[in-house]
Chain A
Amino acid sequence: MSKPTAIQVENLVKTYGDGTKAVKGISFNVGEGEFFGFLGPNGAGKSTTIKILTTLLRKTSGSASVAGLDVEKDAGKIRKLTGVQMQDTVLDEDLTGRENLFLQGHLQQMSGDPLKQRVNELLKVVDLEEAADKRAGYYSGGMKKRLDLASTLVHRPKLLFLDEPTTGLDPQSRNAIWSYLKQLNEQGITIFITTQYLEEVDRLCRRLAIVDVGEIVAQGSPVDLKKEIGADRISLGFENGNPGGAVLKDKAKQVLNSIGGIDNIVDSDEGLVVYAKNGGYMVPEIVRAFDGAQIHLASIGVSSPTLDDVFLKHTGKRIRVEELDKSRSSGMFGRRRR
């Protein structure tokens, strides 16, 4: 338990010039070598927190330290120890992949043969050896993300801050990034990550925190957080997709409320999700009650809670990856290349 701390945050507050309170007094610790997930809906304060921890933004109050160094007093030292990948892929598109890595190394005060070796090594790791001498502007989205990740690693950082490293990528590129990250973590690098991909968080993060409107609403290990839900998840799909949805759902909710033993009911794309202890026993009850009320079910399934459910419970919102991808890719359009 008494691992040295990589990140220590206490009562951290950030209020922007226009009065927006992006972060409202959060506290958390990340141990050395941890793979830590920092989750939350859009606008929860995730990126603001990352910017403060990476010395890019001044905090309003509270304290924050990285590798035992104060984010404001020792900003210069922190910048040498950390790698940061921003939410949007950031590369110099007029330079080649190799030149991008060299420039990043130079900015990190590296030079000569050690830098050359490191660049070659990284090009191999992210599988960009062949495209290394093409301009980054001609790379595909997945290649750009991989190059961006490589550029944060040139100086062998001890800590890696990643803001949505796989958003907007196809599944194959996404898997490639996740497997690099896993390897890096196994080499002892502390990883602090925000992402919309909860399955990966479940698989890789030892601990996570959920933020909502600038406050931490839950933190712990994925297993503990799921246990906290204390109920099984029963998903109900209605016949014919969901026509006249709202009326049908209201009727179904009334019926469900009359059964008893149900902790919570929420809307989903297919129909409803019901949380109840001993889900297996509840299924026949639900089917019987719906039969009596002339509500036809298309599907019914019981599963243990996922991080999705944990997220929903604490924020009242669901993470919708697809929508985000669309808005982001259209937002990037027309901004790159002059």
Chain B
Amino acid sequence: MEFDLNKLKKRASYPFETVAVGLAFSPEMEQLLAEAKKITDACGSKLILIHVGEKTKEKEKSLEDILFRINIEEKKVKLIWADGDVVDSLLKLCKLNIVDLLILGALEKENILKFYLGSIARTVSRRAKCSVLLVTQKKPSQKSKQKVIVNAGADHPKTIHSVNAALYFAKNLGINEVTMVHEVHVPALAMAMAESSSAPEVTKIKKEYSEEESNKLHSLIAKCNTGSVKINEKVIKGKPGYAIRQYAETKKADLLVINSPDTHLTFLDRIFTHDIEFILADLPCNLLIVHSRV
């Protein structure tokens, strides 16, 4: 199987023209497909269903029944049955089919061993060259207003693409309010200020940092295509990844949107947890990882 990498390079992170769903035939598959239908209907996307594993009559029947129940026309869906390593096959098929968004089901929390060794959904999230939506087992929210939180780390070049992708997603799904969160973490600042800064100096430094970060966030949002979506701005302090995870959990968010990882994440990144690994360790809600391909 050959694929043209040039088609993927610099491809915009949105619109989601092609959406794929990784099927594991778990009890949550119906919920996952219902979420996929909602997104593809809203974004006008082409839907691809991928299962890496043995093709059996039972699986075919089960899928047919679910598709019927949630009103997906089977002939409008591209169904791929593949063999081999699940992660590698999924990633390869996504590249081949120029998938813009891959939807996968994920446990909110893996057991320690599985987390360190890497579960399928989390490994794909770390390595995918397209955006990934991890759908947790939480029951879909019945609230009229969906809470969407976007990690708007204003210092990162990828963020503008992620924010715009989040806004595109929100607009298409009829979500009219999004919270943009900018995390601030200055390591060893407490140590730097401890010995020789007076109380007014400490207050001044903290205030300046806070204002500087708020301005950054504000400038970032000014550059985005917000349209009619109401934007809330929030600057939070704490370790990147961890702070926004906690914030999303506290605010009972329905969706958290973040940048894709910058580097190839390894076992070490799970030992010395940082950024996305804090979120993958314990998903606070559904997670959209935007791959901006820049």
Q: Do A and B form a real pair?
A: no
